[in-house]
């Protein structure tokens, strides 16, 4: 839309712009939500900030970006035809392949005609008189809808570090989320990467292959384990295709929707030799097995967690030649698996290369970004390129960036000041007709498996309301209190919840996000679905319907 058009629209609600449902976000979740709402015959519009399909896989184009989930466990399961048609080329698809896949889905189901790109939703205000939501885009265009559905992602609000001088740098710089669409050359360049989370680990490994010199600025090392990616040959793809029902059944049965299920044994139930052999096997296998398919107690029992941490530390020491460097790369403030485990393809060996250096910013903090590079407490580094791999204001960040107001103008951000309060991760008391796909207090994991369920549940509720002339659906205060309490209780005893990470809502770069909160449901997806199914089967009596 041109500036002139925007100005014409500014502040004006267009009568033609009234919808039954508005979905925010055109990623994995939003695309499927659109598909399902069309099946109900509703008038739907999707708003998306980006200029293309794909959400995470549209934005994150940095070198090395790829799944840590097995591709064939990540794709949509809802369409047998789609499963039949799509061939995954790699076990863990790189970003371009996934972006192609999601575009293929959008074309196949003719989704594009209801998606409005370049359209960031800035505000959403509920009107009690009409039981409808007023939506305002960043450019001032306004729309109305009965149901507002957020599919805005858990990792879609990128954060920059709080370092002075970022804007003064004269070279090229960018956050990994906002990676340019044009190729970026590293050959002969002096490159800085700030951050050592999952994204950084992928990017560093790739950039180190060609950069003139790469300097990594690390605050918190993470426990990474090998990905073991490989191409999928035609024959293997045929086998995968034949096994889709089993693959999805395993995912649905596992706590994190991955194809890896926890081993039923406890760490101390086996001998040391058996333990070592099991861990060697997991370390040599592709994917999240070492995290999700490990002994059942490694994320709840401190002694068990210490043992697996020591095993992985040994691996790092074997792979990094310089013992002092290896020690810097071994996490000391959290145990293995208590943060999201990044999977890597030669990350540790990068630090054996002469063109790679590591700066521990706990020892020598970054003081500022300068026009030429980065100044720490003991040195000034010059760079051609600075890459901010500094992650996201996770889970609630994308909500906080929209002015969402419910009954009596109450802001969602204020309501959640002390942590999210939801019913089933979908509804919020005081915000009728707002439905969140994969909202806070839903379970995380292999995302599309959980997102498909979430979309189906939201669609079921809208169908129910639509069929009965119900124009207002809201969580009750009791329902929210019960669910929030249940989420807290199921999180007790999990070592993950004792650690600062994006999964516990901590981001040192975001004001007000310094203390841990319970952000996600950790009772496992099978239990989560049981709760949600029971509510639907009971005709949604636990909700306030009118």
Ligand X SMILES: Cc1cc2nc3c(=O)[nH]c(=O)nc-3n(C[C@H](O)[C@H](O)[C@H](O)COP(=O)(O)OP(=O)(O)OC[C@H]3O[C@@H](n4cnc5c(N)ncnc54)[C@H](O)[C@@H]3O)c2cc1C
Binding track over 199-238 against ligand X, x by CB under 6 A: x---------------------------------------
Q: Which of 205, 305, 446, 497 binds ligand X (CB under 6 A)?
A: 446
At its nearest, how many Å lie between ligand X and the CB of residue 137? 8
Q: Which of 56, 267, 292, 504 binds ligand X (CB under 6 A)?
A: 56
According to the binding rule CB under 6 A, does residue 25 interact with ligand X? Answer: yes
Of 62-70, 110-118, 212-220, 499-507, which segment contacts ligand X by CB under 6 A?
A: 62-70
At its nearest, how many Å lie between ligand X and the CB of residue 408? 23
- Name the residue nearer to ligand X (CB basis): 26 or 149: 26
Q: How many residues bind ligand X (CB under 6 A)?
A: 35
Torsion-angle region of 391 (φ positive above 0: left; ψ -120 to 50: alpha; else: beta): left
- Name the residue nearer to ligand X (CB basis): 351 or 447: 447
Q: Which of 44, 61, 69, 452 binds ligand X (CB under 6 A)?
A: 69
At its nearest, how many Å lie between ligand X and the CB of residue 156? 4
Sign of the dihedral defined by the CA atoms of residues 428, 431, 433, 436, in that order: negative
Q: Which residues lie below 8 Å from residue 443, measured CB to CB, with a gap of 6+?
A: 255, 256, 257, 425, 450, 520, 521, 522, 523, 524, 525, 528
Dihedral of the alpha carbons of 285, 286, 290, 295, in degrees to the nearest 10: -60
Q: Which of 21, 60, 211, 292 binds ligand X (CB under 6 A)?
A: 60
Q: Which of 47, 186, 311, 423 binds ligand X (CB under 6 A)?
A: 47
At its nearest, how many Å lie between ligand X and the CB of residue 438? 5
According to the binding rule CB under 6 A, does residue 99 interact with ligand X? Answer: no
- Name the residue nearer to ligand X (CB basis): 149 or 495: 149
Give the SS3 label for residue 369.
strand
Of 54-62, 206-214, 242-250, 428-436, which segment contacts ligand X by CB under 6 A?
A: 54-62
- Name the residue nearer to ligand X (CB basis): 282 or 438: 438
- Name the residue nearer to ligand X (CB basis): 148 or 154: 154
- Name the residue nearer to ligand X (CB basis): 25 or 479: 25
DSSP 427-483: B-TT-TTEEETT-TTS--SSHHHHHHHHHHHHHHHHHHHHHHT---EEE-HHHHHHH
According to the binding rule CB under 6 A, does residue 451 interact with ligand X? Answer: yes
Are 510 and 393 in contact by the 8 Å Cβ rule? The answer is yes
According to the binding rule CB under 6 A, does residue 447 interact with ligand X? Answer: yes
- 382, 390, 370, 383: which is closest to 509 by C-alpha? 390
At its nearest, how many Å lie between ligand X and the CB of residue 28? 4
Question: What is d(CA 497, CA 495) in angstroms, rounded to the nearest whole number?
Answer: 5
Q: Which of 21, 22, 23, 29 binds ligand X (CB under 6 A)?
A: 29
- Name the residue nearer to ligand X (CB basis): 194 or 359: 194
Question: What is d(CA 315, CA 251) in angstroms, rounded to the nearest whole number?
Answer: 29
- Name the residue nearer to ligand X (CB basis): 222 or 267: 222
- Name the residue nearer to ligand X (CB basis): 49 or 218: 49
The neighbour count for residue 112, using CB atoms within 10 Å, is 17
At its nearest, how many Å lie between ligand X and the CB of residue 505? 16
Of 140-148, 213-221, 446-454, 478-486, which segment contacts ligand X by CB under 6 A?
A: 446-454
Torsion-angle region of 108 (φ positive above 0: left; ψ -120 to 50: alpha; else: beta): alpha
Of 43-51, 272-280, 479-487, 512-520, which segment contacts ligand X by CB under 6 A?
A: 43-51
Site for ligand X in 162-201 (CB under 6 A): 199
Q: Interhelix angle for 244-253 vs 234-242, to 10°?
A: 60
Are 24 and 439 in contact by the 8 Å Cβ rule? The answer is no
- Name the residue nearer to ligand X (CB basis): 366 or 458: 458
Are 148 and 434 in contact by the 8 Å Cβ rule? The answer is yes
Sign of the dihedral defined by the CA atoms of residues 77, 79, 80, 86, in that order: negative
Are 440 and 395 in contact by the 8 Å Cβ rule? The answer is yes
Residue 413 is encoded by which pair of tokens?
């951000």
Please give the C-alpha separations between residue 461 and each of 37, 138, 455, 532, 535, in angstroms, as whole numbers: 11, 29, 10, 11, 10
Binding track over 128-157 against ligand X, x by CB under 6 A: -----------------------xxxxxx-
- 347, 344, 348: which is closest to 228 by C-alpha? 344
Of 14-22, 55-63, 347-355, 481-489, which segment contacts ligand X by CB under 6 A?
A: 55-63
Residue 23 is encoded by which pair of tokens?
């979905």
For ligand X, the binding residues (CB under 6 A) are 24-30, 47-50, 55-56, 58, 60, 65, 67-69, 74, 120-121, 151-156, 199, 398, 402, 438, 446-447, 451
């Amino acid at each position: 839309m041109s500036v002139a058009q925007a100005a014409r629209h500014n502040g004006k609600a267009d009568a033609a712009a009234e919808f039954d449902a508005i979905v925010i976000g055109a990623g994995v979740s939003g695309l499927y939500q659109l598909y399902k709402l069309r099946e109900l015959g509703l008038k739907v519009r999707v708003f998306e900030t980006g200029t293309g399909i794909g959400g995470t896989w549209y934005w994150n184009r940095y070198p090395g970006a790829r799944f840590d989930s097995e591709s064939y466990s990540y794709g949509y399961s809802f369409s047998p035809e789609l499963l039949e048609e799509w061939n995954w080329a790699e076990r863990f698809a790189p970003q371009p392949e996934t972006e192609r896949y999601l575009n293929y889905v959008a074309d196949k189901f003719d989704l594009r005609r209801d998606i409005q790109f370049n359209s960031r939703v800035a505000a959403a205000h509920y009107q009690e008189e009409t039981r409808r939501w007023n939506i305002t885009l960043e450019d001032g265009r306004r729309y109305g809808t009965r149901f507002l559905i957020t599919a805005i992602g858990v990792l879609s609000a990128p954060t920059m570090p709080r370092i002075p001088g970022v804007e003064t740098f004269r070279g090229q710089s960018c956050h990994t989320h906002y990676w340019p669409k044009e190729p970026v050359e590293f050959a002969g360049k002096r490159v800085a990467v700030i951050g050592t989370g999952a994204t950084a680990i992928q990017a560093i490994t790739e950039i180190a292959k060609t950069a003139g010199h790469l300097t990594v600025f690390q605050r918190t090392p993470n426990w990474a384990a090998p990905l073991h990616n490989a191409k999928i040959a035609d024959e293997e793809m045929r086998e995968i295709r034949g096994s889709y029902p089993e693959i999805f059944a395993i995912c649905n049965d596992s706590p994190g929707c991955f194809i890896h299920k926890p081993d039923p044994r406890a760490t101390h139930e086996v001998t040391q030799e058996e333990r070592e052999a099991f861990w060697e096997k997991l370390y040599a296998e592709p994917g999240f097995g070492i995290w999700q398919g490990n002994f059942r107690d490694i994320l709840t029992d401190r002694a068990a967690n210490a043992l697996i941490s020591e095993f992985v530390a040994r691996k790092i020491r074997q792979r990094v030649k310089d013992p002092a460097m290896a020690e810097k790369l071994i996490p000391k403030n959290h145990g293995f698996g208590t943060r999201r485990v990044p999977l890597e393809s030669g990350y540790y060996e990068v630090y054996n290369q002469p063109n790679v250096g590591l700066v521990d910013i706990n020892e020598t903090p970054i003081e500022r970004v300068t026009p030429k590079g980065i100044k720490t407490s003991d040195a000034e580094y010059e760079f051609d390129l600075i890459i901010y791999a500094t992650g996201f204001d996770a889970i609630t960040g994308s909500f906080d960036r929209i002015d969402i107001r419910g009954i009596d103008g109450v802001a969602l951000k204020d309501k959640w000041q002390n942590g999210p309060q939801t019913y089933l991760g979908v509804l919020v008391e005081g915000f009728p007709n707002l439905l969140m796909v994969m909202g806070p207090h839903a379970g995380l994991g292999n995302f599309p498996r959980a997102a498909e369920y979430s979309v189906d549940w939201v669609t079921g509720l809208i169908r129910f309301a639509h069929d009965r002339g119900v124009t207002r659906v809201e969580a009750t205060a009791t329902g929210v209190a019960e669910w929030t309490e249940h989420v807290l209780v199921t999180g007790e005893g999990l070592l993950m919840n004792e650690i600062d990470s994006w999964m516990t809502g901590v981001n040192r770069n975001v004001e007000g996000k310094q203390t841990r909160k319970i952000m996600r449901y950790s009772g496992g997806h099978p239990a989560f679905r049981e709760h949600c199914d029971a509510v639907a089967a009971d005709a949604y009596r636990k909700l306030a319907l009118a």
